């Protein structure tokens, strides 16, 4: 567990204690079901319910000796109960408990992720609406392209976060499954009814078929889903960092971190941290995919990997979402600078509109393209505005008068369909 990048309530879900609690819950639910099926004497079941107590220190002691965590847990439970304790874990294999409990944890973790992701998506949408008309230059390949609004950029993120929520929901469904089918999945020593009853009680579905474990395609789907969500945050973080650069200065993180040596610095540290942590979540998803080809009915190689990657990915992603929500919520948007940057190119960013109009008016495409490009180059050299240059360009005069030219250098031309785009999101969330 990465303490530095852990936040409540995700942190509490992945402690050793929480794991034991879940195992305890599974075992106790099994005891109840076994009793109802007549497999445990009511007296014994009652005693178990009354006396069974978790004792993590004692579990650790036993594990020191026998090197098997679930088995140590069961023995400690038995000890706490006395003779009736022998009915605990009856007919079960370790992974009936371990895998069912892991599904519970992953389901709960996905619920936490979903909650925070909804908050983030709402925050992004709120700020998108706030900046629906905040003029900004769109950039492709790092180069100024054509005007957009900052709200449009945010709306794209919001739409992606909504897709991520659907992915989380699918992942939650696929992992909300338990199995209590014994050592190799044959229910040799445990009735299928136990599985059904226990899973239902724990809010899970019973796997339609299993061997010693749940199949790892489920876990792989969860972890690749986390990696996709992390990718969305990475995109947001990297683009905030771009807009944050000194030469762009269009946004600033609310809580920038200074420098020890350079008092003037205000760094987008949170976005940088988020852009880094995605690498953890992403490569962990690869390890989850590698965990799929279990040998025969079970092998242990995926176990060590899952102990590390599942908590780490959930913790890191949770941290990233919470932090990104803070970033977006508190993001200083420099509306004035955004407007200035649109004008930085001295009109070059309006070139497409002019090109298309010239073509429409009958100028051959190649000639139109070359004329505009030549004037763009000249504008950059001379630092004169493109509009000014084009107004004096003989080749263009036959097609465009001054007024028409003026209109083509108006951002309204570019933003005329903005309302239509935003309307598509008027009902959602």
Q: What is the footprint of a second copy within residues 141-170 (CB under 8 A)?
A: 141-148, 152-153, 155-156, 159-160, 163-164, 167, 170
CA diameter of the chain: 103
Question: Shortest Cβ distance from residue 55 to a second copy (Å)?
Answer: 19
Measured from the CB atom, is 247 or 403 closer to a second copy? 247
Q: What is the DSSP string of 70-137?
A: HHHHHHHHHHHH-GGGGGTTTT--HHHHHHHHHHHHHHHHHHHHHHHHHHHHHHHHHHHHHTTT-EEE
Question: Shortest Cβ distance from residue 387 to a second copy (Å)?
Answer: 13
> Coil, strand or helix: which one is 274?
helix
Look up tokens 């028409």; give the residue. Answer: 404
Please report, for residues 49, 126, 184, 312, 320, the alpha-carbon distance to residue 158 in angstroms, rounded to integers and kept in the order given.
Answer: 48, 10, 45, 26, 16
- Contact between 220 and 307 under an 8 Å Cβ cutoff? The reply is no
Binding region for a second copy (CB under 8 A) out of 21-29, 53-61, 308-316, 399-407: 308-316
- Other beta carbons within 10 Å of 12: 11
First vs last Cα of the chain: how many Å apart?
A: 33
Q: Which DSSP symbol is given to 207? A: P
Sign (positive/negative) of CA torsion 172, 189, 48, 62?
A: negative
Measured from the CB atom, is 130 or 297 closer to a second copy? 297
Binding region for a second copy (CB under 8 A) out of 6-14, 24-32, 290-298, 392-400: 290-298
> Mind spelling out the 3-state secondary structure of 212-251?
CCCCCHHHHHHHHHHHHHHHHHHHHHHHHHHHHCCCCCCE
Look up tokens 């000796």; give the residue. Answer: 65
Look up tokens 């400690």; give the residue. Answer: 76
Single out the residue of 52, 198, 251, 348 in contact with a second copy (rule: CB under 8 A): 348
Q: Tell me whether strands 332-333 and 251-252 are parallel, antiparallel or unpaired.
A: antiparallel
Binding region for a second copy (CB under 8 A) out of 24-32, 49-57, 105-113, 266-274: 266-274
334 binds a second copy (CB under 8 A): no
Binding region for a second copy (CB under 8 A) out of 47-55, 110-118, 271-279, 399-407: 271-279
100 binds a second copy (CB under 8 A): no
- Dist CA 135 CA 344 (whole Å): 13
- Dist CA 230 CA 145 (whole Å): 28
Question: Shortest Cβ distance from residue 403 to a second copy (Å)?
Answer: 19
- Dist CA 84 CA 82 (whole Å): 6
Question: Shortest Cβ distance from residue 199 to a second copy (Å)?
Answer: 14
Measured from the CB atom, is 203 or 258 closer to a second copy? 258
Measured from the CB atom, is 11 or 216 closer to a second copy? 216
Single out the residue of 38, 64, 264, 381 in contact with a second copy (rule: CB under 8 A): 264
Measured from the CB atom, is 57 or 140 closer to a second copy? 140
332 binds a second copy (CB under 8 A): no
Single out the residue of 84, 298, 313, 325 in contact with a second copy (rule: CB under 8 A): 298
Scan residues 173-232 and list those touching a second copy (CB under 8 A): 174, 182-189, 191-192, 208-212, 215-218, 220-221, 224, 227-228, 231-232
- Dist CA 243 CA 273 (whole Å): 16
Question: Shortest Cβ distance from residue 237 to a second copy (Å)?
Answer: 8
Question: Shortest Cβ distance from residue 276 to a second copy (Å)?
Answer: 4
Tokens for 424, please give them: 């598509």
Single out the residue of 57, 64, 65, 295 in contact with a second copy (rule: CB under 8 A): 295
Scan residues 398-427 and list those touching a second copy (CB under 8 A): 413-418, 420-421, 424-425
Single out the residue of 38, 57, 64, 247 in contact with a second copy (rule: CB under 8 A): 247
Scan residues 123-142 and list those touching a second copy (CB under 8 A): 137-142
Look up tokens 């579905």; give the residue. Answer: 205
By annotation, the residues acting in catalysis are 141, 259
273 binds a second copy (CB under 8 A): yes
* x/- track of binding to a second copy for residues 352-391 (CB under 8 A): xx-xx--x----xx---x--xx--x---------x-----
- Dist CA 152 CA 144 (whole Å): 16
290 binds a second copy (CB under 8 A): yes
Q: Give the interface size with a second copy as a residue count (CB under 8 A).
A: 152
Single out the residue of 131, 241, 318, 387 in contact with a second copy (rule: CB under 8 A): 241
């Amino acid at each position: 567990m990465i303490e530095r990048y852990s936040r409540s309530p995700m942190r509490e879900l992945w402690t050793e204690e929480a794991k034991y609690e879940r195992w305890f819950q599974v075992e106790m639910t099994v005891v109840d079901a076994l009793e109802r099926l007549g497999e445990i004497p009511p007296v014994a079941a009652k005693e178990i319910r009354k006396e069974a107590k978790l004792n993590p220190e004692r579990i650790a002691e036993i594990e020191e000796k026998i090197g098997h965590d679930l088995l140590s847990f069961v023995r400690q439970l038995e000890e706490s109960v006395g003779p009736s304790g022998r009915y605990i874990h009856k007919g079960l294999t370790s992974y009936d408990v371990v895998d069912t409990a892991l599904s519970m944890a992953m389901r709960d973790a996905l619920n936490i992720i979903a909650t925070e992701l909804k908050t983030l998506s709402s925050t992004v949408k709120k700020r998108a609406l706030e900046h629906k008309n905040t003029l900004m230059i769109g950039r492709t390949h790092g180069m100024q392209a054509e005007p957009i609004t900052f709200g449009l950029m945010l709306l794209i993120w919001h739409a992606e976060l909504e897709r991520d929520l659907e992915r989380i929901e699918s992942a939650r469904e696929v992992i909300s499954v338990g199995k209590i089918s014994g050592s190799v999945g044959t229910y040799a020593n445990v009735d299928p009814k136990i599985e059904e009853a226990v899973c239902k009680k724990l809010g899970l579905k019973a796997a339609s078929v299993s061997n010693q474990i749940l199949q790892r395609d489920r876990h792989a789907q969860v972890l690749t889903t986390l990696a996709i969500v992390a990718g969305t945050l990475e995109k947001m973080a990297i683009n905030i960092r771009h807009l944050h650069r000194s030469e762009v200065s269009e946004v600033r993180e609310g809580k920038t971190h200074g420098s020890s040596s350079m008092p003037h610095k205000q760094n987008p540290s949170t976005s940088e941290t988020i852009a880094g942590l995605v690498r953890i979540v992403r490569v962990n998803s690869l390890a989850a995919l590698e965990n799929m080809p279990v040998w025969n009915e079970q092998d242990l190689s995926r176990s060590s990997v899952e102990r590390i990657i599942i908590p780490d990915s959930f913790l890191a992603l949770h941290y990233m979402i919470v932090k990104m929500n803070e970033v977006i919520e508190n993001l200083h948007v420099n509306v004035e600078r955004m407007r200035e940057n649109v004008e930085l190119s001295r009109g070059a960013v309006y070139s497409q509109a002019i090109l298309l109009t010239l073509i429409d008016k009958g100028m051959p495409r190649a000639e139109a393209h070359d004329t505009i490009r030549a004037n763009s180059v000249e504008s950059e050299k001379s630092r004169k505005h493109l509009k000014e240059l084009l107004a004096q360009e003989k080749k263009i005069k036959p097609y465009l008068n001054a007024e028409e030219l003026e209109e083509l250098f108006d951002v309204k031309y570019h933003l005329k369909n903005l309302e239509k785009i935003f309307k598509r999101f008027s009902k959602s969330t």
